[in-house]
Amino acid sequence: MSQARRARWSAIVAGIVLAPLLAGCGVNYATVRTDKGEDLMLLGHDPVAYFTVGKPVRGFPNIHAQFRGATYYFASEDHRKMFVADPAKYEPQYGGFCADGAAYGVKLGSDPTEFAIHHGRLFIFGDIVGREFWKLRPAWDVEKADLMWPETGSRGHVAQSLYRLTVRVSWYKTGKEIMDEWRAAHPGQNIEFDPGGLFRNLFVKYPGWRAREGHQQPALGIPGMDPCPPACSGEVTHGYEPKQQ
């Protein structure tokens, strides 16, 4: 057996052994703990607004509701009532983690400005790269992510991501492979975005940190916790913008 093959098998064994021990490591949903003790989804953005306005809109901390242990803010009382009446209709898929990574059983990244409504479901992406990759084959991504979610949703994001980045699904593709497909579909174009590194995303920071703090994009903040601007309730937010050539 070659050295590379032995290393690969060692990593797989380590992933299998460590996954049960780390099962509670991380958060199951892409939430941020607020100073009021809430596990806040979407950095305080209104989940219903994606459907009614078609844009990410910051909610008000005093207009809120809970579902599956997570707190959501809303831009209006009407939106809150719509959510309470049918929360499963409006909640983001895959715990609000990147819908592209979810196809591989990975829970990384959450940016409320990068989203898609597909067949009546709200999908959030970790960044512009995840959204662009997902747009290459949305039906495929949704099929695989739905298949994986019973497993993916059962572990914290750190444990699950470590496990599936080690013990890869049979349909796994590297970032380079998907980027090559994207460039073939978009000749002459490029995406210049640095996701911040795996170690930083898994062990140093929290889901949604890049969008909140403004890593490679405008800082969004969190209504009620961060200054306004930028974290002004009721306003439409804007995320990553490609550099002008």
Residue 114: other Cβ atoms inside 10 A: 26
CA angle 141–90–49, rounded 5-degree value = 105
CA dihedral 138, 117, 60, 33 (to 10 degrees): -20
10: exposed, middle or buried (Cβ count in 10 Å: 0-12, 13-18, 19+): exposed
pTM: 0.90
pLDDT of residue 30: 98
Rounded CA-CA distance 179/42 in Å is: 26
Q: What are phi and psi of 61, to 5 degrees?
A: -60, -30
Task: Indicate the domain borders of the chain.
Answer: 3-213
211: CB partners within 8 A, 6+ apart: 43, 110, 111, 112, 113, 217, 219, 220, 239
From first to last of the 245 residues of the chain, give the pLDDT tens digit: 544 444 344 344 444 445 444 445 799 999 999 999 999 999 999 999 999 999 999 999 999 999 999 999 999 999 999 999 999 999 999 999 999 999 999 999 999 999 999 999 999 999 999 999 999 999 999 999 999 999 999 999 999 999 999 999 999 999 999 999 999 999 999 998 999 999 999 999 999 999 999 999 999 999 999 999 999 999 999 999 876 55
Rounded CA-CA distance 124/93 in Å is: 7
Given a contact cutoff of 8 angstroms between Cβ atoms, the answer to whether 173 and 103 are in contact is: no
The tokens for 95 are 């715990």
